[in-house]
A and B are shown apart, each in its own frame.
Chain A
Amino acid sequence: MSSHKSKPQSLFDTRIIGVAAVDALRKLDPRALARNPVIFVTEVVSALVTVLFVRDLVVHNGQAAFSGQIAAWLWFTVLFANFAEAVAEGRGKAQADALRRTRTDTPARRYANPENLRGPLETVNALDLKLDDVVFVEAGEIIPGDGEILEGVASVNESAITGESAPVIREAGGDRSAVTGGTTVLSDWLKLRITAAPGSTFIDRMIALVEGAERQKTPNEMALSILLSGLTLIFLIVCVTLWPIARYSGTELSATVLIALLVCLIPTTIGGLLSAIGIAGMDRLIRFNVIATSGRAVEAAGDVDTLLLDKTGTITFGNRMATEFLPVAGVRVDDLAAAALASSLADETPEGRSIVALAKGDFGLPDPDLDPAETKVVRFAAQTRISGVDVGTRSVRKGAIDSILRYLKTSMDRTPHEFRQAVERVAMSGGTPLAVADNGRLLGVIHLKDIVKPGIKERFAALRAMGIRTVMVTGDNPVTAAAIASEAGVDDFLAEATPEDKLGYIRKQQFGGRLIAMCGDGTNDAPALAQADVGVAMQTGTQAAREAGNMVDLDSNPTKLIEIVEIGKQLLMTRGSLTTFSIANDVAKYFAILPALFLATYPELAGLNVMRLASPQSAILSAVIFNALIIIALIPLALNGVAYRPVGAAALLRRNLLIYGLGGLVLPFVGIKAIDLLVAALHLA
């Protein structure tokens, strides 16, 4: 999985930090901050304390040093929150810029009349291309925009977006007719119809998403914002009403300390990191070479409980391979292997090569010593489905059972008993039997088998532990499908699946309350991709498929669906853990600030000062400083996400509750005490 991951970005790239620091200041604009109620409230009260600080300076009441420091740290709280978001955006942007560089100032050769593809060409800037323009691109040129091939076949280097250096074939019609702007044609030529206006190509959309301009709150972010706003309101009520209640009790509380209490109580930690977490989630996907067209899709990925996986390429290695030779009675297995080897030398299909590999590898057979003069090769052809070799008078053939029977002019019921048994056994196990004949005599059967990728069964087991079902989709018949399904350990399978079957299956599962993720590349996959909650289209797929899905995998690797789900889960876990941490923090802050407020009136409350903080002022200041610094301290966690393990929900919950719940309770006691020692040592309060 890591082979396609682009180089790990250092968390605090100095360039990103520099830009982010400036951005943090720029983001102080209250109009921008209003999107984030918690930090907005913090900014408003910071301004208020600043005014109080100025007043304290003017009237010389001896409070200026205290209110000045509180004001400064409140502003830092806002700035740190802005900084977190700016760093996340900066990292996303760095990723996006690399992609964008590929498409600046690309020249394009456009047909003056898109109706006439034999007509004259004009050279324009790629950025000036419009939807439905038709362009001509040939070897060595960069494709100027996302498009659909109208004519031509070409090999294209898509490494600019996929990081994969092997060229891919693109041709008109069928499932490989879409090309992406910024990729390079290596050979031949293409005539393309532009399918995305500049500024709305995939890369543009992705850049906009990570840059935050187009970022909309995802459903869960919205719900969390409501919780945070509600808590902010509650604490506003608590702090406002504390003033009269304290007054009744004989304590006049200053606005500065009430505001300090308010900012410590409202969930600034998660409020400040919330958008950074969201952006980092998208960014993690991009580093994984998957582009999500919305943050909603990343979130939905975490909720997915059913994965629809294509068998070929995802669960098995695309090609069937020879795994055993089954001779009939009276034939040695080595003889059968030798015959199979000889007959397959001229078979360049993957199956043929696997027979050669098995014979040479497991049976240690040498290359048959054949005299070229006497040898006549019969190449594999789709029509005959037979390949073989004639050496002198001897002719060896191997091929599909019915083809060989036809070649031998015989029928199944006239074959040896063991032969029929072997054929049946191979078919029952989900494999494909091939027959081998030597000079008209049946030697035995080659077992061709879909090979399940190593390690995939363990991954499915891990997914199952997370409550995610895997469903294998295949065009195979039910017997073959069932055999592979059981070998790969999937929970369910769809055999002889048509695109309609897929769509129907998704609908049925969704009706039962499940969320489905799938990947696909063909145009006929489009309806299912659109219907699925997470539809990952392959970059090599058709334009229709890419439009229908809500993610595009630049590497076109369907196995990545599993990692996509994990990234979605990690995003939600990070949010939840930091929310829990943030709320749990408040307990310690109360124990720091409340005794400080009322010790003068009620010295008996000294028992509540469990941290034994130096003085009331240093207690309040320390709590505010802790509250600001914890945002900075948690930025790495917010950007990298909390550790994800494929264990069950109960185990995850127990672990995270212990770390972020209990940790959130205990850590601030330690932190505030440490800051208090420092504040007292430096005589700051």
Chain B
Amino acid sequence: MTLTGWSQIALVLALVVACAVPFSAFIARVFAGERTFLSPVVGPVERGFYRLAGVDPGREQDWLGYTLAMVVFSIAGFLSLYALQRLQGVLPLNPRGFDAVAPDLAFNTSTSFITNTNWQNYSGETTMSHLTQMLGLTVHNFVSAATGLAMAFALARGFVRSSAQTVGNFWADLTRITLYLLLPLAFVLAFALVALGVPQTLLGAVDATTLEGAKQTISIGPVASQEIIKELGTNGGGFFNANSAHPFENPNAWTNLLQIFAILLIPTASVLAFGRVVGQVRQGSAILATMAVFVLIGILVVYWSEAAGNPILAALGVDPSLGNFEGKEVRFGQAMSALFTTATSGTSTGAVNSMFDSYTPLGGLVPMFNLLAGCIWPGGVGAGLYGFLVVAIIAVFIAGLMVGRTPEYLGKKIEAREMKLSMLAVLIYPLIVLGFVGASVLLQTALDSLGNSGPHGLSEIIYLFASSNANNGSAFAGINGNTLWFNTTGGLAMLLGRFAYVVPVLALAGSLAAKKKIPASAGTFPTDGPLFVGLLVGVIVILYLLQYFPALALGPVVEHALMLAGKTY
């Protein structure tokens, strides 16, 4: 670890927080449907959409209506994306003449993009036409993120409102988030990427003659436009297979900084915006501080572990001074790889600028733990906020009784119904991840996909399901996911991880909104200070440790112990 490395990390994080504070005020205005400085330009477009779709943005839905609208929208998105991939061979903007995507892959990819996962069992540059990338994948990069934030808005309304029946209008939220937040940001930042050297063209590929005189086909395309929303929308699906390690997606240190910034900006700002809309900025700050604890510890562990390197290699005479550089890009270095990794796994982005399979065991443990926790620090666009709030509700319930009152969070009593819905949501994660991992290790066909045996092989399988389930989409690599078993189970994990989680969350929103808001007093469980931050950290660590400690012990932990003992397997 170096001072320069830490300075870079501190610079990026400071930049994120500095921009998130004012940006959160903007998000709060979009949340409330208030007028913003973009209204003169975007307003007419927004109203045009409502007219076209016959939606009255003022007519609010109850939680079930909101959920149904979200589900219908997702199904429609799935079908259109599936059709687009299957028909891309006969559709325009296909300069390299790719054929239709295979049915199972098209299914997997559609599932992956409507759930904001962006797990990719294909290489974009050799599979998808420009039309599929732009009209299909890029569009879903926007709307799946907008859908996530819309659900967080609904849950936030549950806390804001008192004795209310409705939680907002899904169509209006979706439209506003896309038009006011995502599009303008993506538009501006995509230009920045282009200026920094990321390609943006409708050409398919460039043929080059190498120094040896060989012919080489270099894929290019509308990269910058997809790249920026890949980060902003915490999607993670790269234009190229190598994702943000690819020199055309992420050519230099500046684009790398911009990408990390783009990953963290909206999740961070939406947490602060939550504090604003519930009327106490401190509530949002407390949540963000809790998240920051996990982010900082994550960065520290990855950076330290990778900088320390592998004692086995050192023993073989490899110069240990650079630490473990396998799978990392020299133009980013270890510090910015550690930060990128923590950011991409702490959010549900899943873009990578280095390969986790090559990390040291503890370095790989960090993104894995982040995924197992559901990517909630600071989390995917919207998804992180509602995911974290569910955990916060459980933590408040466990500890809240200790002040001698029925637990309440932000003025809402946490009672049997809220507990039922929260537990229903969090039960999904271990059920899917541990269930599918347990089943996979019993199946020889599944084990055949592994690139490694022993603890590292187990890590690869755990990572795959954790990533699908948390809708992250990053891969540990070293495992061939494009098999019938992993396509199916991975697809199921993505679907359940998104929809089986958010339905209880939206029901929770409805249940909270219907409750009276209790005024705070000296007897109220304090949820805005360091005490609460410490409590949340403790409860989260214990809850997740208890769930995944055995699996982690047999994966990265034992791998680390073996490495220290100088053993390979």
Contact = CB atoms under 8 A, between A and B. Distances in A.
B521 A467 contact: yes
B558 A653 contact: no
A657 interface: yes
B554 interface: yes
Given A245-B441, A249-B458, A222 B416 contact: yes
A604 B398 contact: no
A513 B522 contact: no
Interface string B420-432: 1001101100110
A586 B523 contact: no
Contacts of B427: 230, 233-234
Given A223-B397, A226-B420, A660-B402, A237 B434 contact: yes
Contacts of B420: 226
Interface in A286-306: 299, 302-303, 305
A542 B380 CA distance: 61
Interface string B523-558: 111100101000100100011011101110110011
B546 A587 contact: yes
Interface in A553-586: 568-570, 572-573, 575-577, 579-580, 583-584, 586
B9 to A, nearest CB: 29
Among B406, B411, B564, the most chain A Cβ lie within 10 Å of the Cβ of B406
A512 B521 CA distance: 13
Interface stretch (B187-195, B247-255, B511-519): B511-519
B441 A657 contact: no
A572 B404 contact: yes
A649 B525 contact: yes
Contact of B434 (A219, A238, A573): A238
A512 B403 contact: no
A130 to B, nearest CB: 39
Interface in B142-168: 162
B567 interface: yes
Given A237-B435, A569-B404, A514 B519 contact: yes
Given A468-B523, A657-B535, A661-B399, A570 B438 contact: no
B553 A608 contact: yes
A652 B519 contact: no
Interface string A496-532: 0000000000000001111000000000000000000
B331 interface: no
Contacts of A661: 399, 535, 538
B452 to A, nearest CB: 13
A244 B542 contact: no
Given A467-B523, A586-B542, A602-B562, A234 B547 contact: yes
Given A223-B419, A227-B419, A587-B545, A656 B550 contact: no
The dominant DSSP class at the B interface is: helix
A573 to B, nearest CB: 4
Contacts of B523: 305, 466-468, 648-649
A265 B551 CA distance: 15
Nearest to B519: A513
A116 to B, nearest CB: 53
A220 B423 contact: no
Interface size class on chain B is 35 or more
Contacts of B518: 305, 513-514
A227 B420 CA distance: 7
A649 B524 contact: yes
B558 A598 contact: yes
A244 B398 contact: no
A220 B401 contact: yes
Interface residues of A, number: 72
B406 A303 contact: yes
Contacts of B415: 219-220, 223
Contacts of A656: 402-403
Given A245-B458, A594-B550, A234 B430 contact: yes
Contacts of B434: 237-238, 241, 245
Nearest to A248: B441
A394 to B, nearest CB: 60
B447 to A, nearest CB: 8
B86 to A, nearest CB: 36
Residue among A233, A244, A576 with max Cβ neighbours from chain B (10 Å) = A576
A227 B441 contact: no
B214 interface: no
Contacts of B414: 223
B423 A230 contact: yes
A139 interface: no
Nearest to B516: A513
A425 to B, nearest CB: 36
Contacts of B419: 223-224, 226-227, 230
A229 B419 CA distance: 11
Contacts of A248: 441-442, 447, 458, 554
B324 to A, nearest CB: 19
Nearest to B567: A604
B211 interface: no
A654 interface: yes
A513 B411 contact: yes
Given A241-B551, A657-B399, 7 more contacts: A245-B551, A303-B406, A465-B522, A513-B411, A579-B401, A584-B542, A605-B561
The 3 tightest CB contacts between A and B, nearest first, are: A467-B523, A576-B401, A569-B404
8 contacts: A245-B550, A247-B441, A466-B404, A572-B401, A573-B402, A587-B546, A649-B405, A657-B399
